[in-house]
Structure 1
Amino acid sequence: MAAKLISLLIGYLFGTILTADLVVRKKTGKNVFEVGSGNPGMANVMRQFGFKAGALVLSGDLLKTIAAVLVTMLLFPKGAPVLRLYAVLGCTVGHNWPLWHRFRGGKGVATTCMGIFLYAPLLGLISDAIGMLVVFSTGYLPVGAVVITTLFAVLTFLFKGAEAGVLALVLAAIMFDRHLPGLIRVAKGEEKRNAQYFKKRSGKT
């Protein structure tokens, strides 16, 4: 039990490092919550400042997830593989509800997509790939994000057991919660499609 709690904590601490905020502060001196939609994620930063800035945010979010899993593996070299999933869950929770930012955070798409791949490469790759296909075919990011975690939860229950399945289900619930407003907009026909979502505003560099 102690190893699981420590893995969660390690993940949480890494997750609270909001790469988007660091990039925006470097570029503007403002915090990310004052820019665009206020979401500290790749999409918001890319919309406001272009591809390079968005790529930096994405890279940082992926790297902090990798770091959380690696530190967990180093601390518990003989620990069960499910400890990696605890670290991934902690990282996503930290990214979405960071203590240092009054629990205002992102949506955890990058941390989750990288994390499930690190825990179960084949299942994660299948889930990520199908989710991306959904995004490309429908044009809706919220739908693809929810598909990724829902599919991964089903596959994890089938092939990795109940404990890992429950953790995957929690990740799916978090993803659904963070994207619920977007899903409602999709249902109403009000959600921007992928190309519009990443389109830079005129005059931005």
Structure 2
Amino acid sequence: MSLEYGTLLSLLCLAAGYAFGNFLAAEVVARCLAGTGIRNIGNGRASMDNIKKNFGKNAMFAVAAGDILTTVLACWFCYRLAAPELEHTAILYGGIGVIAGHTWPVWLRHGGGRATVMVCTWLILYLPVTGLLCCLAGAVVTAGIGATWGCLLIPCLAVPVAWLQFGMQSGLAAFAAAILLFWQYRKDKACRKNP
């Protein structure tokens, strides 16, 4: 496989993942339960927190299930699209694309919600054992210190793990996921200070 063809396939996987990431489960739940878009509910953010505050835990779990399904479908599609050439790397690019699409959906001005569930799903698909261990470590920190620190720890732990398992490209992708989550939490914190 030539470098140009590999780069083209990688960009296609990023674009496909981004397209999948633009599907926001919070928008679907808001429309089903309130008959209006997420922009008109609570703080207007497409987040599980906003859905939970306005519709309860069952609705929040529906959003989480939708985010998991979106990530699985995006990674599966990218793997089917480019697996013979890119092999496991197709999941890498599809996952980063879906996280970016969830963070910056084309059609929602305020941006999407936090992509923590998507990051965990992607890590488990890409790094089955070690990704699961990173997510479990984040869950332990969440239980002990709080959700913000636990959710931010997950991609940070994944950076050296991905680097050691699959090389620099994987480590940089995990670093990009960490940057996206840090950006989301910083933005959420600013929104809470200036409603």
Amino acid at match of 2:105: P
State the one-letter code of the partner of 1:129: L
For 1:10-29, what per-residue CA distance to the aligned partner results, in whole angstroms no more than 9, with x for missing partners? 11011000110111011112
- Give the 5 Å matches for 1:148-159: 148-159=154-165
Letter in 1 for 2:125: L
The answer (yes or no) to whether the contact 2:45–2:110 under 8 Å persists in 1 is: no
Separation of aligned partners in 1, 2:133 and 2:189: 22
C-alpha separation in 1, matches of 2:188 and 2:149 = 8
The separation in 2 between residues aligned to 1:102 and 1:49, in whole angstroms, is: 22
Whole-Å Cα distance in 2 between the matches of residues 103 and 47 of structure 1?
18
Query: TM-score, length-normalised on structure 2?
Result: 0.88
Q: Percent identity?
A: 29
Partner amino acid, structure 2, of 1:88: G
| Structure 2 partner of 1:23 | 29
What is aligned with 1:195?
Answer: none
Q: Distance in 2 between matches of 1:77 and 1:89?
A: 16
Superposed CA RMSD:
1.9
Q: Deviations over 1:21-65 (max 9, x none)?
A: 111011112221222232212222122111211111111010000
One of 120, 133, 141 as aligned partner of 1:126:
133
- Aligned pair in 2 of structure 1 residues 177, 54: CA closer, same or farther (>3 Å)? same
SS in 2 for 1:100: coil
- Choose between structure 1 and 2: higher helix proportion: 2
Residue equivalent to 1:176: 182
Map of 1:90-129 to 2, 5 A cutoff? Answer: 90-102=97-109, 104-129=111-136
Map 1:2-17; keep pairs closer than 5 Å: 2-17=8-23
| 2:4 corresponding residue in structure 1 | none
Give 1:20's aligned amino acid: A
Separation in 1 of the partners of 2:162 and 2:25? 29
**TM-score calculated relative to the size of structure 1:** 0.84
Moved over 4 A (4+): 181-184
Query: Residue type matched to 1:50 in 2?
Result: G
